[in-house]
Amino acid sequence: MIKEFIVEKCKWKNDCQSPVVLMIDDLANKWIDIKNTSECVKGSDWGYLKKDCDSFFHILNNQLLNKYPYVKCTLFLVVGRREGIIKGGNNYLSYDITENGFSEFLKELCNDERFELAYHGLTHGICGDTREEFVEEWNTYSNLEEAIKKIEIGKKIFKDTVGVNFNGGKYCGYCYNDFSDESIVKTNFKWWCRHWDSILLNNYKIKSNVLSLQLDYFNDVIDIPSTIDGSFYSLKSYKKYFQKNI
């Protein structure tokens, strides 16, 4: 028997009503040849196909957003050539956001009130011989000055291409080091996703039987928590996990 239950929108700090927000990454001018056919087929697109049939955007709209118009999406954009994860892995094509008419697609997203584009690095990182050896982007920076320089390059590419500035972003792979937060503060982001905690209740506080999301800051940057990771739904035990932890 399937049990139906109603989950109310959670409250943000100070009992503010939250929107329903879907965070999606990566958005990139890239596709992966998952079938080894040299064709960009359904499931292989990371943004390269823009609004074409079988593009990620077409699927997202038809399967979700058109059915639930109140959902707002934050798309985390890699502005440069998005690197592969594993050396010698699937073939792929990857371009920066200035190529192949991708900039016009991004401008359309910026003008759609359902979407926000957020910064997710220049390349996302450096590929390795295995998945575990992939180096996430902020861990490739050797010092604060290098991090700031690369972030400013990424921000400028976006502003020159689309005509607006990023308000926020997220660390690639939720990986950062001792000077990463300062690099975000000094490049004038308003909000940032720093981490994701698999113990979901670490991101919540319970008040009068209502879950309330704790909103923190580092300096003047709003620290946006990530709550439910979509990868949970690929796990056979995810229902038991949520029943246990929520």
Over range 141-154, report the average pLDDT: 97
Question: Residue 209's pLDDT band (boundaries 50, 70, 90)?
Answer: very low
Measuring CA to CA, which residue among 226, 227, 216 is closest to residue 13?
216
Question: Residue 229's pLDDT band (boundaries 50, 70, 90)?
Answer: low
Over range 58-63, report the average pLDDT: 91
Q: What is the pLDDT of residues 37-58, one digit of tens each?
A: 888 888 889 999 999 988 999 9
Q: For position 206, what pLDDT does the model report?
A: 43
Query: How far is the C-alpha of 48 from the C-alpha of 116, rounded, in Å?
Result: 18
| Mean of all residue pLDDT scores within the chain | 82
Over range 151-159, report the average pLDDT: 98
Q: What is the pLDDT of residues 1-22, one digit of tens each?
A: 455 556 566 666 666 666 667 8
Q: Which residue has the higher pLDDT, 56 or 218?
A: 56
Q: Which two tokens stand for residue 150?
A: 């690369």
Q: What is the pLDDT of residues 179-193, one digit of tens each?
A: 999 999 999 999 999
Domains and CATH numbers, the chain: 11-245 (3.20.20)
How big is the chain, counted in residues?
246
Q: For position 148, what pLDDT does the model report?
A: 98
Residue 60 pLDDT > 80: yes
Tokens 């580092």 — which residue? 218
Query: How far is the C-alpha of 31 from the C-alpha of 46, rounded, in Å?
Result: 5
Q: Within 13 A of 40's CA, how many CA atoms are on the CB side?
A: 17
